[in-house]
Amino acid sequence: MSDGRLYDGFLPGRHQIDAYGNGGFRFADMSHRGSILALPSGIRAWPIGSVAELSDEVLEPIFAEAEEIELLLLGTGVDVAAIPGAFRERFREAKIGLDVMQTGAAARTYNILLAENRKVAAALIAVP
């Protein structure tokens, strides 16, 4: 992992987001190009570039850890975007709070809640 890339797109453990922008993120002395999921199990690459690409498949890793997540911060990129009602309902059914905001705000809020040892996760769409 010394080359700054995630091994198999996954880094175990909970890590603060050190920086975002330029199409990616920095965390745990590494960088990743593209969107990420910061889950209780670790940070993983997330194959999505916009809210329009949301699907059951790309959300599945979040729901797989639903028992460990009270709140998901969804960073929608540079602008806040509406989330389809069907996805909102799925989060309600899983008893996961959903807060939608710009990626930068989501990353900052995630860091604060993580430092407070809250059951938080973040789905962050990379910004230019």
Q: 35 in a domain, yes or no?
A: yes
The parent domain of residue 84 ranges over 7-124
User: How many residues appear in the chain?
Assistant: 128
- Please give the helix or strand (H or E) that residue 109 lies within, else none: helix 103-115
pLDDT digits (tens, 9 = 90+) for 46-85: 999 999 999 999 999 999 999 999 999 999 999 999 999 9
> Distance between CA 33 and CA 92 in Å, rounded?
30
> Distance between CA 128 and CA 117 in Å, rounded?
30
pTM for the predicted model, two decimal places? 0.92
Q: 60 in a domain, yes or no?
A: yes
Q: What does the mean pLDDT of the chain come to?
A: 93
Q: Which CATH number is 101's domain given? A: 3.40.1230.10
Q: 2 in a domain, yes or no?
A: no
Q: 1 in a domain, yes or no?
A: no
Other CB atoms within a 10 A radius of the CB of residue 77 amount to 19
Q: 103 in a domain, yes or no?
A: yes
Q: 109 in a domain, yes or no?
A: yes
Q: HSE on the CB side for 19, CA within 13 Å?
A: 10
Q: What residues pair up with 25 in beta bridges, in sequence order?
A: 20, 32
Residues 14 and 44: beta-carbon distance below 8 Å: no
Count: domains in the chain: 1
